[in-house]
Amino acid sequence: LLITGVIGILGTNAFNFIAITRISPAQASVIAYLWPMMAIVLAAAFGLKRLQLRHGIAVLLGFAGAVLVINPFGQATFDVLGIGCALLAGLSWAGYTTYRMVDNRGPSDAVGIYSLVAAVVCLIAHSQLEQTHAMSAIQFVAILGLGIAPMGLANAVWDYGISRGDARSLSILAYGTPLVATLLLVVLGLTAVTPLLLIGAVLIVGGAAIGTWPARD
C-alpha cells in the first residue's frame, strides 16, 4: 500500500506539474480528468466492478461537462510530452483508485505517511533537477497549508470513500470538482457565469444522477 500510495500521489502531481509547463493548465486538467473513465474501465477489466451502460453514459456526460466548465478551447496546443504527462497524471490516480478497490484493508490515515514519503522524493528530485528559488514566509505558509489542508484532506477522504464505497459512483461524482471550483470563483467575483458553464453544470449533474441512481447491480 505504501509503494502504491507514493506512486499514485507522486505520479499524479509530478506528471501534472510537468504537463502544465508544456501545455495550458486548462488543457492539462481536461486530459487528466480522463482518470475517472480509466478507473472505471480498469475496475471492469480486472473484474472488480461490473460496468453497466448507465455508468458508461454517466462518465461520458460528466467528462463532457468538465470540458465545458474548464473551457480549454483556444488554449489547446499539440505537445506530445505535455499531453503524455497529463495522461500519465490521470493514469497514476486511476491506478491507485483501482488498487484500493482490491486492497481496502489499509487505514485511510496512512495517506499522510505516503504523502510524506512522496514529498521527500519530490524534494530530492527538485534539488537534483531544478533550480531553487527563495520563498517569502507567506509563500512558504501558503504552500504548507495547501499540502496539509486541501490536498492532504482530499486524498484522505477520497481514500476512505473509494475503499469503502461504490467506486463507480464516486468516480462519476469526481467530475463535480471542476464545477464546484468554478462556482467558487463565480461567488468570489473572479469569473462570470457563461453558457458553457451552465451547460457543463447540467451535464455533470445529469451524469451524476444517472450514475448514482439506485439500481440492482
Which range marks the domain in which residue 144 is found?
2-212
Is this structure's pTM higher than 0.85? no
* Burial of 99 from C-beta contacts in 10 A (0-12 / 13-18 / 19+): buried
The span from the CA of 212 to the CA of 168, in Å, is 8
How many angstroms separate the CA atoms of 58 and 23, rounded? 28
Number of domains, the chain: 1
* pLDDT at residue 160, as a whole number: 86
**pLDDT (0 to 100) of residue 216:** 55
pLDDT in tens, the chain (217 residues): 678 888 888 899 889 989 999 988 888 888 898 888 888 888 888 887 777 888 889 889 999 999 998 888 777 788 999 999 999 999 999 998 888 887 777 776 777 787 888 888 888 887 887 788 888 889 888 888 877 776 778 888 888 888 888 877 888 888 888 888 888 888 888 888 889 889 999 999 888 888 877 655 4
Q: How many residues does the chain have?
A: 217
Q: What cell numbers appear for 22 in the block?
A: 508544456
- The Cα–Cα gap between 83 and 20 comes to 9
What is the C-alpha separation between 114 and 142, in angstroms, rounded?
A: 21
Please report the pLDDT score of residue 86 as a whole number. 93
Whether residue 42 is contained in a domain is answered as yes
Q: Where are the alpha helices (DSSP H) in the chain?
A: 2-19, 25-32, 35-45, 53-70, 80-102, 111-129, 137-146, 152-164, 167-173, 176-187, 195-212
pLDDT at site 84: 95
